[in-house]
């Protein structure tokens, strides 16, 4: 469980949504509770002559990850799972960001495990070993950065210092038709000035 108080009290790890099922996904789903998302399948990409392809998913299977136990997921994210976003509610801002961070940590940790296993399988192939080793180094670097942020988020959560959060909110009166949740390391600010050089 990715909660800062994780331990023996954690019950079964659940399939948590990185995007809310009832408040967001159900808003963009069709009448059969399905949504469309960009396909990650290279075969779809090739079949579509290099153009983007979409795949249909049930909202019950989309955006899930096993990052929290049921107890912590239900209690921690209740302010955003049972209420719509209110501009200026710093606790909600924090919880949306924390959930995205947890999802990214979960994904990176699993990718690292997968790459380490792959490296063992190709150890006799020098070229492939070097390639996978560089992917491992990049993933570890990214994971180190995420862990720095995780500690900051844990401190905010423990101390309930949500006013430390900053956000930009873009609002629209149009019906919701798209949703996403992710971690982004911007290279430029809104004025085009360099914030950080990721290379």
Give the integer Cα–Cα distance in Å for 179 and 99: 14
- Which pLDDT value is given to residue 79? 92
The predicted-structure confidence for 14-40, as pLDDT tens digits, reads as follows: 888 888 777 788 888 888 888 888 877
The predicted-structure confidence for 82-126, as pLDDT tens digits, reads as follows: 888 887 899 999 999 999 999 999 999 999 999 999 999 998 999
The predicted-structure confidence for 159-184, as pLDDT tens digits, reads as follows: 999 998 888 888 888 888 888 777 77
Average pLDDT over the chain reads 87
- Which pLDDT value is given to residue 65? 86
pTM, two decimals, is: 0.80
Q: Torsions phi, psi of 13, nearest 5?
A: -70, 130
Closest listed residue to residue 19, CA positions, set 73, 59, 68: 59
Locate 153 and state its tokens: 């988020």
pLDDT above 90 for 6: no
């Amino acid at each position: 469980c990715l909660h800062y108080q994780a331990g023996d009290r954690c019950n079964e790890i659940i399939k948590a949504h990185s995007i809310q099922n009832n408040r967001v996904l159900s808003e963009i789903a069709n009448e059969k509770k399905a949504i469309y998302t960009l396909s990650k399948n290279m075969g779809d990409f090739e079949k579509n002559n290099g153009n983007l392809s979409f795949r249909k998913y049930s909202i019950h299977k989309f955006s899930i990850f096993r990052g929290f136990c049921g107890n912590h997921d239900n209690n921690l994210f209740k302010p955003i799972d049972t209420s719509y976003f209110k501009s200026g509610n710093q606790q909600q801002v924090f919880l949306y960001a924390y959930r995205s961070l947890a999802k990214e940590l979960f994904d990176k940790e699993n990718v690292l495990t997968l790459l380490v296993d792959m490296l063992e399988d190709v150890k006799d192939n020098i070229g492939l070993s070097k390639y996978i080793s560089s992917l491992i180094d990049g993933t570890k670097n990214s994971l180190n950065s995420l862990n720095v942020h995780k500690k900051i988020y844990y401190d905010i959560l423990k101390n309930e210092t949500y006013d430390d959060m900053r956000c930009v909110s873009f609002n629209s009166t149009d019906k919701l038709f798209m949703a996403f949740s992710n971690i982004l390391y911007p290279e430029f600010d809104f004025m085009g000035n360099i914030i950080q050089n990721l290379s």
